Amino acid sequence: MKILIISDIHANQVALEAVLKACPDFEALWNIGDTVGYGPRPRECVDLMVDYGAKPILVGNHDLACLGEIDLREFNTVAQIASRWTALQLGMEHRAYLMGLYSDTVQDGYSLAHGSPRAPVWEYVTTAVIATENFAHFETETCFIGHTHIGMYALVRPDEEMASLHPLRDGDTLDLLVGRYIVNPGSVGQPRDRDPRAAYAVLDSSRGTLSAHRVAYDIATTQRQMALANLPDILASRLAHGM
Ligand code: ZN
């Protein structure tokens, strides 16, 4: 089965549509969370997830903030502004939908967690030590995460105790059968690895392989939408730099 895995859309509809167009023949769609927050089209992005039958969808820290489930003081000023704006945009149906979701789950023998298996809402898996500790917190062979907006994979082979951490780049293919993995596909709507293109991954669950991909999208259109919504300039300008 061909499964499209995405994370951190952050209400960037143009980027999301570019990914859906670049990978049109998926049989399942898994979304690791932060569908909204930061970007200008929260309703449309939630609607697209429903229309495309994405399941599971996780809730990330930004989704929860927009729902009023997280104290906004946890966020920096621009994220607070964007969260308040997003909360006003979401309709009852969008709120009810997001409210029903979890921050981690298991699907078809794979674990998924927004931040990390140990702390699904908040923890950032950014080092080999953090990754190594997290392997004790899920039972499947592979766990998919998001949250950092940086594509990467951590691998522990059967004879190893310490995980090795690697960037996940456009065109990379992983053989998931050689060990246990934590994999972050990167962010659709706000990449932070200095590559501004939208990131996604494709899991071939029958072969046990995962491929990483990037697709360019019309960043200027998203930036215009953000300006019209009076979202902070810094959130729009960073999209062009992939930071
Ligand atoms: Zn995020």
Distance of CA 209 from the midpoint of ligand 1 (Å): 25
Output the pLDDT for position 240: 97
Question: Would you put residue 220 in left (φ > 0), alpha (ψ -120 to 50) or beta?
Answer: alpha
Output the pLDDT for position 124: 98
Domain encompassing residue 49: 2-240
- Could you read off the pLDDT of 52-85 as tens digits, one per residue? 999 999 999 999 999 999 989 889 999 999 999 9
Distance of CA 149 from the midpoint of ligand 1 (Å): 6
Output the pLDDT for position 82: 96
Distance of CA 160 from the midpoint of ligand 1 (Å): 31
Exposure of 87 by Cβ count < 10 A (0-12 exposed, 13-18 middle, 19+ buried)?
middle
- Could you read off the pLDDT of 18-65 as tens digits, one per residue? 999 999 999 999 999 999 999 999 999 999 999 999 999 999 999 999
Distance of CA 60 from the midpoint of ligand 1 (Å): 7
Buried b (16+ CB within 10 A) or exposed e, 45-84: bbbbbeeeebebbbbbbbbbbbbeebeeeebeeebebbbe
Q: Which residue type occupies 74?
A: E
What is the rounded distance in angstroms from the CA atom of residue 18 to the CA atom of residue 1? 22
Q: How many domains does the chain have?
A: 1
Output the pLDDT for position 74: 87
Placement of tokens 């950014």 in the chain: 126
Output the pLDDT for position 141: 98
Distance of CA 33 from the midpoint of ligand 1 (Å): 7
Distance of CA 9 from the midpoint of ligand 1 (Å): 8
Distance of CA 215 from the midpoint of ligand 1 (Å): 18
For residue 67 the two structure tokens come to 């729902």
CATH of the domain at 159: 3.60.21.10
Distance of CA 75 from the midpoint of ligand 1 (Å): 12
Q: Which residue type occupies 123?
A: E
Low-confidence ranges of the chain (pLDDT < 70): none
